[in-house]
Amino acid sequence: MARLYRHKNRGYQIRYIVYFPDGTQEQKYRYYSSKAKAITDYPDIEVLETHSLKDTLTASELRFALRKGFISREEARALGGPDTPLILPHWDELKKAFLARSAENVRDYMHYFNTRRAENLTNYFGTKPVNEITEATVQKYMRERLKTVKGKTVRADLLTLSQILDIAVEQNALPSNPARTVDSRMLRRDTRERKPRSLTKEEISVLVKTAREDTAHFGGEAYPIIMTYLYTGMRRGELVYLKTGDVDLGKRAITVQPSAADKFSTKSGKFRIIGINRNLTDILRLFVERKTKYLFGTKNEPLLLPNGHSVAFLALRKKAKLPNDITLHSLRHTYITHLLDAGVPIRRVQYLAGHADIKTTMKYAHLLPSDEIAEDRLSF
């Protein structure tokens, strides 16, 4: 058994033996400046000695003993076997463990996003030894990622990275989680108010005309898809996964709702019902009569995935020679702005748009064009 001694020259000493699978053993010593420090390590050294004797050391125990300096790297390899990756877990091993937890503990649509973020992180961290992932490494990743995506996306990536590296800490591969302590001030939310970009009537006319004549984008269905975006204000994921059964032409109503099967959820996680404009009814009738699973899709699959819609729209915008600040999401802004401009009550617009907070809807109300001088309504 491991022994703790008072050493006449070096404070305190722990003497212990490491037993190897080939029958050999190595007597080892560790020295401490105080008894308190020695007592802290003693139970872990005793576990190392006992489990090496019984040949029951786990990968986690080996990694811990190596990190603490109880054994050398060569001794760890001898204890674990030359072909066993016991020294440090590989990134793929950590990712697999994380996704297993995710599948068990979160909703399907959240697991879908966890999977996507884990794959994105793999592109950057997958080739790095886990013990080389430091605060500096994480900060560098954040800076590079911010060049192409928004801060909230990097914040979500950082959360996933933290959860993956938590597993490395649990397995004693890291002393602490660098993603938990990293300085994330660069990801602070931008509090500057941004003006939602809506299309003018002239821009709508040009876009609709271009879509009507186009056969190369949106799987040849550019016109009905663009008109649906304009008349419903749906987000791209909501339209992509819209089921034919959720479109009721008789009542002129569309039910927008989460779908666990598609690993998709509305932004608020709730359903809402949107009216179908008379001008849109005949456009959608042909697609409803096809009786496919998705309104805009083949027999069992969406015509395009969300990213495909964005790419197709950018190509259509270029073809229409519209300004670059117009995006696919601008069609949603246009829907909301024009409803408010038509006098629809703001609470009703909040519901139709699926805004959780009326403050989001009010941003559009503040930006409604008007040539009227409001003060002219005063009469004293």
Give the pLDDT confidence score for residue 373 in this predicted structure: 46
Task: Tell me the CB-side half-sphere exposure of residue 24, using CA atoms within 13 A.
Answer: 5
Give the pLDDT confidence score for residue 232 in this predicted structure: 93
Residue that the structure tokens 């938590």 belong to: 166
- Residues in the chain, overall count: 380
Give the pLDDT confidence score for residue 195 in this predicted structure: 67
Cα–Cα distance measured from residue 112 to residue 18, given in angstroms and rounded to the nearest whole number:
45
Are the C-beta atoms of 171 and 63 separated by less than 8 Å?
yes
User: CB burial class (10 A; 0-12, 13-18, 19+) of residue 101?
Assistant: middle
pLDDT under 70: residue ranges of the chain: 81-88, 186-195, 366-380
Give the pLDDT confidence score for residue 189 in this predicted structure: 56
* pLDDT tens, residue by residue, 165-216: 999 888 777 888 999 988 777 666 555 556 678 898 899 999 999 999 999 9
Are the C-beta atoms of 5 and 12 separated by less than 8 Å?
yes
Give the pLDDT confidence score for residue 176 in this predicted structure: 87
Are the C-beta atoms of 174 and 131 separated by less than 8 Å?
yes
